[in-house]
Amino acid sequence: MERTEAELIAAVLRGDPASFEPLVQKYSPRVFATARRYARRESEVEDIAQEVWLKAFEKLNSFRGEAPFEHWLMRLTVRTCYDFLRVHQRNREWAFSDLSGPETDWLERFATQPETAAETADAAKLLVGRVLEKLSPPARLVITLLEIEDRSVREIARLTGWSVPLVKVRAFRARAEMRKILTKMATEKYL
């Protein structure tokens, strides 16, 4: 008979670490999908996921069981991703002249005929990835959660541990920061 999550967690806390494995197996896809939003290289994604599970094991006694385990784990994942962004901030510098051919083409198409530049194009995906990399860690986190994952301000506050007003302020600053990057990119490319 399959054990429930609560039973597995209780077993781990009683000193049976093997009961942790089904939890890792069940929730790793979600952890990996989240980590891939913030890290590009697969080795970095794996490092983040590993760090999340090690922290989850260490801090499991702080899980009170009031909310689902998944929520607790996602909070841990988002905070680990944020730490990763802060640590790797300096490695993310790139120049606008580094844009690939398809990215430049997409931008040119957008400049001349915005409606023909499809957002489903691979070039657009690459371009947004590069722009997000230019953002500061809090801006990137808040843009990802609010604009890309479409989460509410309250939910972001819960995930990040920031207050609701702080999330709002950071969201405002993040949008401005992104606009500034796009303006700089457009100016360097087309003026």
Partner 1 sequence: MNIAELQKKLLAAARANAPDDRVPYAFEKRVMALLASRAGADKRVLWTRGLWRAAVSCVAIALLLGAWIFFNPAASSNSTDLSQNFESTLLASVDQGDQAQ
- Binding residues for partner 1, per CB under 8 A? 17-18, 20-21, 24-25, 28-30, 32-34, 36-37, 42, 46, 49-50, 53-54, 57, 110-111, 114, 117, 119-121, 124-125, 127-129, 131-132, 143, 147-148, 150, 175, 178-179, 182-183, 186, 190
- Rounded to the nearest 10 degrees, the angle between the axes of helix 122-134 and helix 164-190 is 120
Asked if residues 84 and 92 have their Cβ atoms less than 8 Å apart, the reply is no
**Least gap, CB of 119 to partner 1 (angstroms):** 4
**Least gap, CB of 66 to partner 1 (angstroms):** 25
Asked if residues 30 and 74 have their Cβ atoms less than 8 Å apart, the reply is yes
Q: For partner 1, give the closer residue by CB, 11 or 121.
A: 121
Q: For partner 1, give the closer residue by CB, 58 or 66.
A: 58
CA 163, 165, 166 angle in degrees (round to 5)? 65
Q: For partner 1, give the closer residue by CB, 57 or 163.
A: 57
What is the Cα–Cα distance from 188 to 182, expressed in whole angstroms?
10
Residues 6+ apart with CB under 8 A from 46: none
Q: For partner 1, give the closer residue by CB, 20 or 63.
A: 20
**Least gap, CB of 103 to partner 1 (angstroms):** 11
**Least gap, CB of 34 to partner 1 (angstroms):** 8
Q: For partner 1, give the closer residue by CB, 167 or 177.
A: 177
What is the Cα–Cα distance from 5 to 177, expressed in whole angstroms?
41
**Least gap, CB of 125 to partner 1 (angstroms):** 5
Q: What is the DSSP letter of 51?
A: H
Which alpha helices (H) appear in 88-121, and where do they start and end?
101-112
